[in-house]
């Protein structure tokens, strides 16, 4: 059994999609002759806590946790917040007040590449001890935070161990950088760090073809390995009966997913379709950008149907996916969004719940929907088609006396976490030779 050192900031009890990628890989690595040692933090500031994810941490996996310094604590003190967690999203809105403007400036320019840079020294020290006691055949760093890759860079220089840099998001081209008051010096330094990592690592793994295109010029050894879904998380259900027809979005809903045409379509549909108005509900489960909630308040019918739930654990989130009548999927409205492939879509598909997908009709996510035989992506402004699809599934629901409609997908098995772990293991075999 070959040993691989996995360096990740996010690990249970941290919640959210970021932690699940390598949590699931580690769950299945042993099946492919790789023994993971996980290096993570013990006192991290996490956006969400999800104790339920700890059930997926195999007792065979060695987990080493270190201390860290969290610059976000300074940031929160400056803005007068007692919350230890980090913000989920960065708003496009300008901060008001000198203290908030100053804190935003410091966040943008003091912590490069990100506010997790305080973990670097602790992690390198711990990694050296792990390497000295174990025959490590490969190292994986996963980001964000992208500062994790700087740990990998330091270890690569010292030990020459094959190193894979895993990216779940872009680095310098991440969408929210444009909302931050970054100086030219900061932008330049961040780009230099990104290039150093991409040039030094032995291979790059990414979650989408869009990210692959982003990095291809600087590292030719790139593999797309999607997030996928875990069979064990999806408990198939049948004959679910609901009193209301529920359209539900599950997960973080950001400002760049605030689609006015969608809310207009729903409000108009409620006004035109009396039977729907009495039985419809729109539910957000997760962290929702306040700008979205403010806009929905402007729609007199839609706002009466809105339900907002706080973040729930992953197992409860999957339960909600299964029990919803129609799931809402929105590709962020941002540059190059045709290249976006979010992990959420795979679990949505695996639950067999119909999906109302809003986004660019040509792109990676759109192609996936067509490949597996599900309803096609709908453009943001296409209110007519949005209404048509909702009415289609509502009518089927009525005919079934409130029983849920299930929709199977073709060729979905290749996106299972276990199959994708096999793919990752083959890459490790290649770089470790």
Same domain, 238 and 133: no
Q: What was the pLDDT predicted at 195?
A: 96
Same domain, 183 and 308: no
Same domain, 78 and 115: yes
Q: What was the pLDDT predicted at 289?
A: 94
List the structure tokens of 201.
């690592």
Q: Is the dihedral of CA 337, 338, 342, 347 positive or negative?
A: positive
Coil/strand/helix, residue 397: helix
Q: What was the pLDDT predicted at 176?
A: 80
Is residue 409 included in any domain, yes or no?
no
pLDDT, mean of residues 204-214: 92
User: How many other CB atoms are found less than 10 A from the CB of residue 278?
Assistant: 10
Same domain, 211 and 237: no
pLDDT, mean of residues 304-320: 95
Is residue 313 included in any domain, yes or no?
yes
pLDDT level of residue 108 (50, 70, 90 thresholds): confident
How far is the CA of 180 from the CAs of 94, 286, 388, in angstroms?
9, 24, 39
pLDDT level of residue 424 (50, 70, 90 thresholds): very high
Same domain, 191 and 287: no
List the structure tokens of 244.
């209301």
Is the model more confident about 123 or about 407?
Answer: 123
Coil/strand/helix, residue 46: coil
How big is the chain, counted in residues? 433
- Distance from chain centroid for Cα 368: 17
CA–CA separation, 106 vs 108, rounded Å?
5
Residue 164: beta bridge partners? 140, 203
Q: What was the pLDDT predicted at 220?
A: 84
Is residue 410 included in any domain, yes or no?
no
CA–CA separation, 307 vs 129, rounded Å?
50
Q: What are 50-105's pLDDT values in tens digits?
A: 999 999 998 999 999 999 988 766 555 555 554 444 444 455 555 566 767 777 78
pLDDT, mean of residues 278-289: 95
Instruction: Tell whether the model's pLDDT for residue 109 goes beyond 90.
Output: no
Q: What was the pLDDT predicted at 282?
A: 98
pTM to 2 decimals? 0.91
Number of domains in the chain: 2
Same domain, 244 and 212: no
Domain of residue 57, residue span: 2-228+417-432
Is residue 109 included in any domain, yes or no?
yes
pLDDT, mean of residues 45-50: 88
Is residue 411 included in any domain, yes or no?
no
What is the H or E stretch that residue 35 is in?
A: strand 34-41
pLDDT > 70 fraction of the chain, expressed in percent and rounded:
94
Same domain, 288 and 215: no
Same domain, 241 and 370: yes
Q: What was the pLDDT predicted at 79?
A: 52
**What is the pLDDT of the chain when averaged over all its residues?**
91
Q: Is the dihedral of CA 128, 130, 135, 138 positive or negative?
A: negative
Is residue 406 included in any domain, yes or no?
no
Q: What was the pLDDT predicted at 14?
A: 94
User: What is the dihedral angle through the alpha carbons of 20, 21, 27, 30, rounded to the nearest 10 degrees?
Assistant: -170
Q: Which of 8-12, 108-112, 212-216, 313-317 has the lowest mean pLDDT?
A: 108-112
pLDDT, mean of residues 166-177: 89
HEC assignment per residue over 319-384: HHHHHCCEEEEECCCCCCHHHCCCCHHHHHHHCCCCEEEECCCCCHHHHHHHHCCCCCCECCCCHH
pLDDT, mean of residues 27-56: 94
CA–CA separation, 101 vs 143, rounded Å?
27
Same domain, 217 and 239: no
Q: What was the pLDDT predicted at 43?
A: 81
Is residue 267 included in any domain, yes or no?
yes
Q: What are 173-182's pLDDT values in tens digits?
A: 887 888 888 9
Instruction: Tell whether the model's pLDDT for residue 239 goes beyond 70.
Output: yes
Q: What are 335-378's pLDDT values in tens digits?
A: 888 888 888 999 999 999 999 999 999 989 999 999 999 999 99
pLDDT, mean of residues 165-192: 90
User: How many other CB atoms are found less than 10 A from the CB of residue 165?
Assistant: 28
Instruction: Tell whether the model's pLDDT for residue 303 goes beyond 80.
Output: yes
Same domain, 286 and 150: no
pLDDT, mean of residues 22-43: 96
CATH of the domain at 327: 3.40.50.2000
Is residue 321 included in any domain, yes or no?
yes
Helices (H) and strands (E) in the chain, counts: 15, 12
Same domain, 202 and 340: no
Same domain, 374 and 251: yes
């Amino acid at each position: 059994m070959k040993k691989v050192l996995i360096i990740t900031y996010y690990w249970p009890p941290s919640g959210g999609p970021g932690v699940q990628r390598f949590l699931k890989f580690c769950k299945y690595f042993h099946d492919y002759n790789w023994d993971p040692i996980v290096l993570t933090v013990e006192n991290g500031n996490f956006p969400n806590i999800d104790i339920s994810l700890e059930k997926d941490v195999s007792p065979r996996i060695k987990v080493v946790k270190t201390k860290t310094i969290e610059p976000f604590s300074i940031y929160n003190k400056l803005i007068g917040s007692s919350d230890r967690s980090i913000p989920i999203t960065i708003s496009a809105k300008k901060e008001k007040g000198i203290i908030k403007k100053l804190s935003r400036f410091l966040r943008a320019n003091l912590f490069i590449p990100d506010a997790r840079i305080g973990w670097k020294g602790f992690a390198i020290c711990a990694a050296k001890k792990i390497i000295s006691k174990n025959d490590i055949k490969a190292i994986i760093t996963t980001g964000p935070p992208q500062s994790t890759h700087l740990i990998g860079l330091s270890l690569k220089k010292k030990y020459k161990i094959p190193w894979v840099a895993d990216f779940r998001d872009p680095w310098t081209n991440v969408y929210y950088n444009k909302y931050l008051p970054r100086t030219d010096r900061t932008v330049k330094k961040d780009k230099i760090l990104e290039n150093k990592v991409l040039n030094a690592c032995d291979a790059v793994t990414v979650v989408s073809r869009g990210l692959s295109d982003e990095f291809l010029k600087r590292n030719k050894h790139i593999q797309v390995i999607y997030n996928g879904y875990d069979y064990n998380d999806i408990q198939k259900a049948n004959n679910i009966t609901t009193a209301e027809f529920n359209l539900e979005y599950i997960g973080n809903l950001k400002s760049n997913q605030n689609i006015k045409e969608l809310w207009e379509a729903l409000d108009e549909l409620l006004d035109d379709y009396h039977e729907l108005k009495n039985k419809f509900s729109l539910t957000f489960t997760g962290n929702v950008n306040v700008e979205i909630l403010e806009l929905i308040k402007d729609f007199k019918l839609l706002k009466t149907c809105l339900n907002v739930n706080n973040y729930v654990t992953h197992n409860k989130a999957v339960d909600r996916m299964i029990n919803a009548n129609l799931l809402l999927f929105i590709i962020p409205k941002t540059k190059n969004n045709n290249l976006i492939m979010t992990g959420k879509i795979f679990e949505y598909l695996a639950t067999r719940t119909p999906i109302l997908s809003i986004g660019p009709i040509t792109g990676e996510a759109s192609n996936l929907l067509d490949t597996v035989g599900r309803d096609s992506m709908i453009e943001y402004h296409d209110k007519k088609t949005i209404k048509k699809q909702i009415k289609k599934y509502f009518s089927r629901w009525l005919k079934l006396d409130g029983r849920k409609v299930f929709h199977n997908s073709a060729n979905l098995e290749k996106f299972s976490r276990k199959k994708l772990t096999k793919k990752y293991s083959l890459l490790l075999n290649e770089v470790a030779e």
